[in-house]
Amino acid sequence: MAGADKLEVLKTAGQNGGLRFDKEINVEFKQDGTVEIAERQGWGWKSPVSYDLDSYNGVLSSSKTVHVQGTLKGKVTLHSEEKVEIMGDLVYANDPRKNPNSTDMLGIVSEGD
């Protein structure tokens, strides 16, 4: 499968069972397995909305820039058609380097920077 086809798979997975946005977003992973996502609105941000990661297929995708930080509990592939900016600490709730039974995992895919 060509690279462009794999990116389409991510976009489609975000739309079908994942979380897909067409705006710049600010993502903050929470240690309890949720994620708070705020969408860009003009010069500021809308109030964040909380999502339970267990209720989605693990793909979080945006056609715009994604800003991310926090403590991840679960498995997520984070995708941006523009760029991903890590804004602060980005750690696992249960670090797989310390606990081989951890299921926490983060993949970051950026089509830009």
Average pLDDT, the chain: 94
For strands 49-52 and 19-21, give the pairing: unpaired
Look at 11 and 106; give whichever has higher pLDDT.
106
CB 17 within 8 A of CB 60: no
pLDDT, residue 75, reads: 96
Neighbours of 50 (CB within 10 A): 11
Would you say residue 64 has pLDDT above 90?
A: yes
pLDDT, residue 68, reads: 98
Dihedrals phi, psi of 77, to nearest 5 degrees: -110, 120
Would you say residue 4 has pLDDT above 70?
A: no
Neighbours of 1 (CB within 10 A): 7
Q: What does the alpha-carbon distance between residue 79 and residue 109 come to, in Å, rounded to a whole number?
A: 5
Predicted model pTM:
0.92
Q: How much of the chain, in percent, has pLDDT values that exceed 70?
A: 96
Q: For 10-41, how does the pLDDT look when each residue is reduced to its tens digit (9 = 90+)?
A: 888 998 999 999 999 999 999 999 999 999 99
